[in-house]
Structure 1
Amino acid sequence: MSKNQIKTNSYSFFNCIEKNFDKATRFLSIEKGLLEQIKACNSVYRMHFPVKIGKKIKVIEAYRVQHSHHKLPCKGGIRYSIKVNQDEVMTLAALMTYKCAIVDVPFGGAKGGIKIDPQTISTENIEKITRRYTSELIKKNFIGPGIDVPAPDYGTGEREMSWIFDTFLSLRSGDVDALACVTGKPVSQGGVRGRKEATGLGVFYGIRELCHVKEEMCSVGLDIGLVGKKIIIQGLGNVGYHAASFFHESGAIIIALAEREGAIYNEKGLNVSKVFLHLKDNGSILNFPEAKNIENTEKALELECDILIPAALENVIHKNNANRIKAKIIGEAANGPITPEADEILYKKGVIIVPDIYLNAGGVTVSYFEWIKNLSHVRYGRMEKKFRENMNTELLQVIETICKKNFSIKEKKMVLRGPREIDLVRSGLEDTMINGFHKIRDIKKSLKIENMRTAAFVLAINKIIDSYEKLGIFP
């Protein structure tokens, strides 16, 4: 497929990724043909299938793109949106490849999309569409525990993933690893605890680690740590809400929250839980009693703050508003929220940008944990929880004897408790995000790269090349 065929305009989302990729290749001594292979989408499956909705037959447009097969299975979410198109799905699949490489998750990148508005379709008909889409993927061998493993994305969740699993199992009965055909499932159907908040928590861990590095904080004139940092978050969906909650709990001050209909602002800080309850009750964050309304949501991005977290749409920071951004740190919780032109403007201003291909990799990291759980057929913590509790009991008895002190029941419970599944999942995610941050930073320093985004792409490309060499595909 040529570039001209995927361009929807002179400046597409896919072109943004290619530009960032090409910047990184200047720091690599790799044969051009290999780089072209990494950059290209391996398989694009575009489908049209009929579904009876009411008394009419509706033809549904859908996609599944496998960007890279350097590792299998491929991995990536499925989004339901009326804006779904081939360029978008290809771009998101490419991003998945680089994300997985950066955080050492052994998947190739993939993505799926169905061009529907789930808000205007009944649950019954969404189920029909989901099951038919799954059957189409099965026909072409585009889904399976060792082939391609979907997950939730914009407009989808546990419900849709359970339908996908059930459809796969009905058509592949007897497959003992069928649970691993999809991640993001309900816990009762093989899902893993901690998956819902994983992307938002990963954003928190990544920004927290940056704020612990004295050299980075000095470069933007900030103190070390998150406590007291003023933060603006755009998007109060799954990612934005959980990121906001973790930042709030850590002592940061959420001064503004922005949604499609507008934004709310309080210089002294917003209570995220109260705002979310207000949103559920009223269908909008506007008119929150403890905040001031901002009618133009884009204006909220331009407010004075320490950290800006775009967690909604792509291209929200562009060449026309980049000069007005006052944040000292931008964490890309969304995919592609900053255009390449805006990137250049912000870097010249000295803004630290923590790139999407690293920062929002928490979701795929925990999806990997779920996939491993499904393949092993053992719940996390089941084989070690009681052992750890027994070891902690013996240790506590020794401490009490040495110190000649009896701990309270509450203190004993805290010490004696073995690790739960969610503890192990969060610990693994935290370790992954911390290691990923320092790998990017080490490459940035060693190659004297000016920004984290280019360094992240260099890291990803090197990891992919290494995988190809181990497979013996390239000399």
Structure 2
Amino acid sequence: MTTATLNKKSKKIPVRGMMENVMEQFNSASDHIELHPNIRKILSITNNEIVVHFPVKMDNGDVEIFTGYRVQHNNALGPYKGGLRYHPTVDIDAARALAMWMTWKTSLAGLPYGGGKGGIQLDPSKYSQSELERITRRFTFALADNIGPEHDIPAPDVNTNSQTMAWMADTYMSTRPPAERTANQHVVTGKPDGSGGLEGRDRATGFGVYLTIKFWAQHNDESLEGKRFIVQGFGNVGYWAAHFLEKEGAKLVAVQDAFGSIQNKDGIAVEDLFNYSKSNNGSIVDFPESKTLDKDEFYATDCDICIPAALGNQITKEVAPLIKARLIAEGANGPTNVEGEKILLERGVTIIPDILCNSGGVIGSYFEWLQNRNGELWQLEEVMPKLEKKMKESFEKVYAFAKAESLDLRTAAYCIAIKRIEKAYIQRGIFP
């Protein structure tokens, strides 16, 4: 581990856990499919790891030095693809784990992409909008030679959004020769609608989470009407997943965010909570007609479906026994660690893995990339059916493989994803 130069205050324990999780999951699936030893060696490591330190002038005139990361895991199937997050826990090990997950996710979805991930180690709530813009632009400038629309395509992630991507795209295009600038608009995805973004990209990840839950219910001859669900993280993913589930008649009974947890057994109106959080500095705390819960009480809420849509390593061996849900739908990346998952599977709980459940976001990104690349403008009415079709294809493949091989859904998803990459290496060979 190369942590000697990292911020001593960063939370290294959960980060190491994420890397251990992804490697154990990878090795388990690789054993099952008897992955070629040479290809296992290649996929066990990253291709490139970029660390940049850059100065930014603050509003008060002081200069701060920031550390940014971009890990490019594998590009056997196409350009590196993955988000950039702004969070205190971002470091090289977190980026490694997340980049590997992106490789499996894009492969499983059948996209012409590899996997990458990164971000900046900071708490964005401590900076003004103008400071965040300068930080983003300076980070983009530092990364400019390592990203590109046919090489590595960043996207939003935790604490980054369409505005962040607009700043990145503008900065990157400004570094290109004048004749090439507009041709590089698809260097990032997740941009605002008016700046080359895709209609529906904002809801794509949450919509995908909802779809996988719907497909699971259909396979079990069940309706979502009356199903009770809880959501950890009420940001973009958690909100949209809850929005679509509520429309199907499901009932949101508890929510947890970075500020606290709330519950109402009779149901929480999703739109009311969303509007309240926007007016309450992003917090759900003290939402009317709800009671406050302790963190562990949130997980112990009586429900049918649990949607972890915040950060990684949330469902551990301590948390797993508390969960009453029959289904875990992973809206976040790596929210369930290996120990927690074993407990849940032994209890008969179904887990829709992150690389399948939240892949609507990267599929939406692929649509945006194609739209920009071809000089087209796709309408929302055509985007959502295309997204549902891709998600259903992936879900059916995983569900069928899991049933045929007597596997859990995560191992099945990994097997399918890794076999696609293995096929590419076998067909192409390894240079030289």
The answer to whether TM tops 0.5 is yes
Q: Does residue 284 of structure 2 align to residue 285 of structure 1?
A: yes
Aligned partner (choices 325, 328, 333) of residue 326 of structure 2: 328
Of 223, 227, 230, the match for 2:228: 230
> Aligned-pair distance for 1:30?
2.4
Q: Equivalent residue of 1:315, what SS?
A: coil
**What stretches of structure 2 of length at least 5 have no aligned partner?**
none
Find out whether 1:19 has 2:57 as its counterpart. Answer: no
Partner of 1:443: 401
- Say whether the 8 Å CA contact 1:234–1:258 is kept in structure 2: yes
What SS does structure 2 have at the residue aligned with 1:461?
helix
Instruction: Describe the SS at the equivalent of 1:174.
Output: helix
Instruction: Provide the TM-score with structure 1 as the length reference.
Output: 0.85
**Aligned equivalents of 2:413 and 2:79: distance in 1?**
22
1:357-414: per-residue Cα shift (whole Å, max 9, x none)? 110111110000000000101212xxxxxxxxxxxxxxxxxxxxxxxxxxxxxxxxxx
Cα deviation for residue 303 of structure 1 reads 1.3
TM-score, L = length of structure 2: 0.93
Return the alpha-carbon distance in structure 2 between the equivalents of residues 258 and 208 of structure 1.
Answer: 23
Q: How far did 1:2 drift?
A: 8.5
Q: For residues 127 and 289 of structure 1, what CA distance do their matches in structure 2 show?
A: 35
- 1:72 corresponds in structure 2 to 78
**Aligned with residue 219 of structure 2, among 213, 224, 238:** 213
- Cross-structure match for 2:137: 131
Asked if 1:157 corresponds to 2:156, the answer is no
Q: Does the 8 Å CA contact 1:158/1:186 hold for their aligned counterparts?
A: yes
Aligned mate of 2:337, from 339, 346, 371: 339
Answer yes or no: is the 8 Å Cα contact 1:72–1:148 preserved in 2: no
Match of 1:387 in 2: none
Cα-to-partner distance string for 1:252-276 (whole Å, 9 max, x where unaligned) = 1111112223222222211111112
| Separation in 2, partners of 1:210, 1:252 | 14
Task: Letter of the 2:265 partner, please give it.
Answer: E
CA distance in 1, matches of 2:62, 2:288: 46
TM-superposed CA distance for 1:467, in Å, is 2.1
C-alpha displacement at 1:446, in angstroms?
2.1
2:65 alignment partner, SS class: strand
Aligned partners of 1:114 and 1:70: how far apart in 2?
26
**Corresponding residue number in structure 1 for 2:245:** 247
Q: Are residue 35 (structure 1) and residue 40 (structure 2) matched?
A: yes
1:49-448 to 2 correspondence within 5 Å?
Answer: 49-53=54-58, 54-138=60-144, 141-172=145-176, 173-175=178-180, 176-214=182-220, 224-283=222-281, 284-294=283-293, 296-380=294-378, 421-448=379-406
SS at match of 1:180: helix
Cα RMSD for the two superposed structures: 2.1
Q: Matches of 2:134 and 2:162 in 1, distance apart?
A: 16
Alpha-carbon displacement from aligned partner over 1:143-194 (angstroms, at most 9, x marks no partner): 1110111111111111111111111111113225211111111111111100
Mapped to 1, the partners of 2:160 and 2:319 lie a distance apart of: 31
Q: Which residues of structure 1 form unaligned runs of 5+?
A: 215-222, 381-420
Once the 2 structures are TM-superposed, how far is the Cα of residue 434 of structure 1 from its aligned partner?
0.9
Range moving further from structure 2, 284-293 or 269-278: 284-293
Greater gyration radius: 1
Q: Secondary structure at the match of 1:196?
A: helix
Asked if structure 2 preserves the Cα contact closer than 8 Å seen for 1:260 and 1:297, the reply is no
What's the secondary structure of 1:72's corresponding residue?
Answer: coil
Answer with 156-165 or 204-213: which moved more.
156-165
Q: 1:441 to 1:129 in 2, by over 3 A?
A: same
Displacement after TM superposition at 1:5 (Å): 11
Quote how far apart the aligned CAs of 1:246 are: 0.6
Alpha-carbon displacement from aligned partner over 1:286-319 (angstroms, at most 9, x marks no partner):
332222221x133211111111111112111111
Q: More deviation in 100-109 or 32-41?
A: 32-41
Aligned length: 423
Are the counterparts in 1 of residues 12 and 89 from structure 2 also a CA contact under 8 Å?
A: no
Aligned AA for 1:361?
S
**Cα pair 2:206 2:237 within 8 Å, conserved:** yes
Aligned to 1:461: 418
Q: Please state whether the residue corresponding to 1:309 is helix, strand or coil.
A: strand
Worse overlay, 262-271 or 34-43: 262-271
Q: Indicate if the aligned counterparts of 1:231 and 1:308 stay in contact, CA closer than 8 A.
A: yes
**Equivalent residue letter for 1:246:** F
CA 1:474 to 1:468, structure 2 compared with 1: closer, same or farther past 3 Å? farther
Determine the C-alpha separation between the residues in 2 that align with 1:108 and 1:342: 28
Aligned to 1:27, what secondary structure does the other structure show? helix
Give how far 1:29 is off. 2.4
Q: Secondary structure of the residue that 1:453 maps to in structure 2?
A: helix
- Tell me if the contact between 1:12 and 1:87 (Cα under 8 Å) persists in the aligned partners: no
Give 1:228 shift. Answer: 1.1
For 1:113 and 1:328, how far apart are their aligned partners in 2? 34
1:181 alignment partner AA: V
Amino acid across the alignment from 1:304: D
State the identity %. 39
CA distance in 2, matches of 1:474, 1:47: 29
- 1:401 corresponding residue in structure 2: none
- In 1: Cα distance, 2:148 partner to 2:192 partner: 18
Structure 2 residue matching 1:336: 3-state secondary structure: coil
